[in-house]
């Protein structure tokens, strides 16, 4: 969430305006562009083989999924950084806290109602709790955490990231254990009503820690550029070296150990980098955030059309997020109607309903649709970016 642009009030008295940070816009824009590929793959070419199954998936399918692992942690982490940058524009911490509370609750509502409606064409076969859900609850938590010393917030975030893999799984999830399961458990399906299950893909605690960690490095973006780039580079390299060293031991940090693969050394290497996203393991976050930190260290003064193109998406993240689901889901409805004679939600079909007999997965189709969707999103995002710059309506801070 880009709080540095969505909040219209001018800087409060006594606080200097915080200029936009190009690296944040570019890296967030890159994450969002790649994110669209994963959603398109799920809607336009789901496969019987899990992309993470290195014993059976092709390398192309594996990497199509694996590259998108970098999106959610980058998106959440930079949302926290944007909170800090916005806070520097406000002399009233209470106002920041109240905004985080209301914005967080709005995001939770948006996930449960609006985004689920878009994904399932209004059918609501399941309530899916994903990244906007955890960003929302992370902001609610940060509404209280910003009153604590930043060093303490950093210690808490680091403790959760390092230690949450040691927490026991909650099985089975019942009404009595639903709350702790939502806070930290592995993904689970809970029957909310006889006809409406809830699939909690993203649980709150580890992702809220990522948001808080992004908030805690916010001061780095107020440093002179050489010092900032050095800190980001050192942190990124350190996280990646930590990942390699700990992953090699198969001791801790991910519930899925790597193993020598019968298919050869290449697939053994894929096993090594095949880490767990749900919930985000320590090794998952070390790898993905390590890369994100390195990208932040090299994109602040990156010239050229590519950086301007990516920053267009990165400056209007929620607008992009909602619009890209409209295009992907709506386009899939039209395509399946034309291809199979009736609309068919390949990603969210009701239980027990088989796929159309004529359906065949195709990564080529996914990449072609990805290119079209990203291209079509450019002009609306550019328009909305200009609209936000020219207007200060209160509701702009919620979209």
pLDDT at 6: 40
Predicted local distance difference test score (pLDDT) of residue 301: 84
Q: Render pLDDT for 194-222 as a digit per residue (tens, 0 to 9).
A: 889 999 999 999 999 999 999 999 999 99
User: Is residue 17's pLDDT more than 90?
Assistant: no
Cα–Cα distances (Å) from 189 to 89, 293, 350, in that order, read 42, 34, 15
**pLDDT score for 187:** 92
Preceding omega of 360 cis (within 30 degrees of 0):
no
Residue 9 predicted with pLDDT over 70: no
| pLDDT tens-place string over residues 36-84 | 999 999 999 999 999 999 999 999 999 999 999 999 999 999 999 999 9
At 18 the pLDDT is 57
Count of CA atoms in the C-beta half-sphere (13 A) of 132: 24
Looking up tokens 């006889």 gives 194
Q: In the chain, how many H helices and how many E strands?
A: 16, 3
In this structure, are residues 270 and 208 in contact, taking their beta carbons and an 8 Å threshold? no
CA 341 distance to own-chain centroid: 34
Distances (CA, A) of 376 to 29, 185, 251, 256, 373: 15, 38, 46, 38, 5
For the whole model, what pTM was predicted? 0.93
């Amino acid at each position: 969430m880009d709080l540095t642009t969505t909040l219209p009030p001018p800087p409060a008295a006594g606080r200097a305006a915080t200029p936009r940070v190009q690296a944040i816009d570019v890296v967030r824009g890159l994450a969002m562009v790649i994110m669209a590929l994963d959603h398109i793959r799920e809607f336009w070419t789901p496969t019987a083989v899990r992309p993470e199954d290195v014993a059976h998936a092709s390398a192309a399918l594996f990497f199509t999924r694996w590259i998108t692992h970098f999106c959610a942690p980058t998106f959440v982490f930079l949302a926290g950084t944007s909170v800090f940058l916005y806070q520097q524009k406000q002399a009233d911490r209470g106002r920041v806290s109240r905004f985080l509370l209301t914005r967080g609750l709005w995001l939770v509502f948006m996930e449960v109602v609006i985004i689920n409606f878009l994904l399932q064409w209004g059918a609501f076969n399941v309530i899916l709790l994903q990244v906007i859900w955890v960003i929302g609850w992370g902001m609610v938590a940060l509404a209280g955490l910003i009153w604590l010393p930043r060093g303490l917030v950093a210690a808490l975030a680091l403790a959760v990231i390092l230690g949450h893999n040691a927490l026991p799984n909650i099985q089975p999830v019942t009404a009595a254990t639903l709350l702790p399961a939502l806070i930290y458990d592995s993904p689970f399906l809970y029957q909310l009503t006889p006809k409406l299950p809830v699939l909690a893909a993203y649980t709150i605690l580890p992702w809220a820690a990522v948001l808080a960690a992004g908030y805690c490095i916010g001061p780095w973006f107020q440093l002179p550029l050489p010092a900032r780039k050095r800190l980001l580079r050192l942190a990124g390299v350190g996280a990646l070296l930590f990942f390699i060293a700990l992953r090699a031991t198969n001791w801790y940090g991910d519930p899925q150990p790597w193993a020598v693969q019968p298919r050869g050394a290449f697939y053994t290497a894929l096993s090594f980098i095949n880490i767990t996203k749900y919930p985000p393991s320590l090794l998952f976050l070390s790898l993905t955030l390590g890369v994100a930190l390195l990208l932040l260290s090299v994109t602040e003064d990156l010239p050229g059309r590519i950086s301007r193109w990516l920053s267009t998406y990165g400056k209007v993240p929620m607008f992009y997020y909602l619009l890209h689901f409209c295009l992907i889901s709506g386009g899939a409805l039209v395509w399946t109607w034309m291809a199979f004679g009736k609309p068919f939600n390949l990603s969210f079909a009701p239980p027990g309903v088989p796929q159309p007999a004529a359906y065949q997965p195709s990564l080529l189709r996914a990449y072609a649709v990805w290119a079209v969707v990203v291209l079509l999103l450019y002009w609306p995002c550019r328009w909305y970016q200009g609209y936000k710059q020219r207007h200060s309506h209160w509701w702009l801070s919620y979209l």
